[in-house]
């Protein structure tokens, strides 16, 4: 989350890359409606996340802090937490309006907002499960460097989810799976490249379900190949998180044969024990996750894997957790996102026998330690190698395998050769050519 700063329009983003894209769409819609006009007064918009109870708590805390620091400035709350718990935010005296995920990027929503004398709280949160199509939050054009400093572009290709993992509340915040047409995605990436982006990241809620709702049912692999074929100037292409069990053969072929497809995949694994995976209502088994990583490395030896893993899911015993811990080595994971289990009201897992909180924290710490160990080993292997690094903001860049490299602000927006000289346990150090 970035802290709000004084100004006529402030959009504060929590959570995923999809929210980052949508915050830019919010900014544009609100600006077009005149909310960036100093004479109209300031406005703060919180684009929230609901993936855990902690994410909702942090949003409420940030809203109260913003109200204390900027009293009198209207605060609008939107995003997944607002969609799922509109009454929670509507009850906060600091909040002037609550807007749902389907409404937050619509120009009409922002045009109708009125914070004048006598204006009452407006709650615009419709049934997102009834949405027939996706909205396109394309951001090419003026203000292109508002996302990722004119280096990496995050492109929404899909929204929503048709699966019902027992721990997850997000489908009720995002609605059913909806895909952006392939032609629209290709056109958007072409415009982004023309505006200076070197790398595109395809993102969504469940991108391996891409295309199931489109005519002809194209899949993610077909989209990837179309982008690389029709936008030859695009230097690097990545995916956000994928579900290994839904990966199509065309995508596997693209991974194996397309050098502009970067050698890094982030997997939604969640656990390494088959009984826990079944209770989570995941669609893969432990052996399938391991086989996926093994098969990918057979055709792309430089591939690096990250993964989401939950610690302390309900009913998880020490033996079950040990299999999740062991999965890190079995799959050869490098970049871990560890989530201590957090029950979300309304999900089946919240009604299951819970693991004590102290055990959840302890297991999460052990997973993070294992992840740090694996990352250190990976960074050690990079010393002496020459990598192609895309410079970003803050003097940090990304190598092909997603490793962070301290490269300096002078490389921002450029892909440079960097010879790795060492690391600090998290970021590679280098000498540039």
pLDDT attached to residue 142: 40
**CATH 3.40.50.12160 boundaries in the chain:** 9-126
C-alpha dihedral (398, 142, 139, 188), degrees to nearest 10:
-90
> Under CATH, to which class is 9-126 assigned?
alpha beta
pLDDT attached to residue 127: 65
**CATH 3.30.750.200 boundaries in the chain:** 296-381
Q: Is 160 left (phi over 0), alpha (psi -120 to 50) or beta?
A: left
> DSSP secondary-structure letter at 304?
E
Write the CATH number of the domain with boundaries 130-262.
3.30.750.210
Unique residue bearing structure tokens 């292409």: 237
Distance CA 413, CA 190 (A): 17
In order along the chain (433 residues), what is the average pLDDT of each group of 10 residues? 61 86 86 68 87 89 93 91 90 91 84 63 67 50 43 89 93 89 94 92 94 93 97 96 93 95 97 98 97 96 97 98 97 96 92 97 98 97 96 92 93 92 96 72
DSSP 322-350: HHHHHHHHHTTEEEEEEEE----TTSGGG
Write out the two tokens for 301: 């030896």
pLDDT attached to residue 33: 81
Distance CA 246, CA 284 (A): 9
pLDDT attached to residue 147: 56
pLDDT attached to residue 41: 56
Terminal alpha carbon distance of the chain: 35
Q: pTM of the prediction?
A: 0.86
Tell me if 420 sits within 8 A of 429, measured CB to CB. yes
pLDDT attached to residue 28: 85
Buried b (16+ CB within 10 A) or exposed e, 373-382: ebbeebbeeb
Burial (CB count within 10 angstroms: exposed 0-12, middle 13-18, buried 19+), residue 233: exposed
Distance CA 152, CA 195 (A): 11
Q: If you count DSSP H runs as helices and E runs as strands, how many of each does the chain have, helices first?
A: 13, 19
**CATH 3.30.750.210 boundaries in the chain:** 130-262
User: Which one of 3.40.50.1370, 3.40.50.720, 3.90.650.10, 3.30.750.200 gives the CATH number of domain 296-381?
Assistant: 3.30.750.200
pLDDT attached to residue 132: 56
pLDDT attached to residue 172: 87
């Amino acid at each position: 989350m970035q802290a709000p700063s004084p100004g006529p329009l402030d959009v504060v983003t929590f959570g995923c890359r999809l929210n980052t894209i949508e915050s830019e769409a919010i900014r544009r819609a609100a600006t077009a409606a005149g909310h960036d006009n100093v004479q109209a007064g300031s406005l703060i918009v919180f684009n929230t996340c609901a993936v855990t109870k902690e994410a909702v708590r942090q949003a409420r805390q940030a809203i109260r802090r913003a109200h204390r620091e900027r009293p009198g400035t209207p605060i609008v709350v939107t995003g997944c937490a607002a969609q799922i718990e509109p009454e929670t935010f509507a009850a906060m005296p600091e909040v002037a309006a609550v807007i749902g995920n389907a409404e937050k990027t619509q120009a009409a929503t922002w045009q109708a907002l009125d914070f004048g004398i006598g204006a009452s709280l407006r709650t615009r949160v419709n049934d997102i499960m009834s949405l027939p199509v996706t909205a396109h939050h394309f951001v090419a054009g003026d203000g292109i460097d508002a996302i990722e400093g004119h280096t990496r572009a995050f492109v929404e290709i899909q929204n929503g989810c048709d699966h019902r993992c027992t721990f997850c509340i997000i489908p009720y915040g995002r609605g059913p799976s909806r895909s952006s047409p392939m032609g629209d995605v290709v056109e958007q990436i072409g415009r982004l490249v023309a505006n200076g982006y070197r790398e595109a990241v395809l993102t969504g809620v469940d991108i391996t379900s891409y295309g199931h709702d489109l005519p002809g049912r194209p899949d993610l692999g077909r989209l990837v190949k179309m982008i690389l074929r029709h936008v030859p100037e695009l230097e690097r292409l990545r995916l956000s998180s994928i579900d290994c069990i839904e990966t199509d053969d065309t995508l596997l072929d693209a991974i194996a044969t397309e050098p502009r497809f970067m050698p890094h995949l982030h997997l939604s694994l969640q656990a390494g024990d088959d009984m826990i995976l079944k209770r989570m209502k995941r669609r893969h088994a432990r052996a399938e996750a391991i086989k996926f990583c093994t098969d990918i490395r057979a055709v792309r030896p430089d591939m690096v894997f990250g993964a989401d893993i939950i610690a302390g899911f309900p009913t998880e015993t020490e033996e079950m957790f040990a299999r999740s811990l062991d999965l890190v080595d079995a799959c050869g994971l490098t970049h871990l996102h560890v989530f201590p289990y957090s029950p979300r009201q309304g999900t089946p897992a919240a009604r299951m026998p819970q693991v004590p909180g102290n055990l959840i924290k302890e297991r999460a710490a052990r997973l993070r330690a294992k992840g740090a160990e694996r990352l250190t080993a990976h960074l050690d292997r990079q010393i002496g190698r020459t990598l192609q690094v895309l410079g970003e903001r803050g003097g940090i860049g990304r190598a092909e395998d997603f490793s962070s490299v301290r490269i300096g602000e002078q490389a921002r927006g450029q892909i440079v050769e960097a010879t790795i000289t060492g690391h600090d346990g998290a970021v590679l150090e280098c000498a540039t050519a």
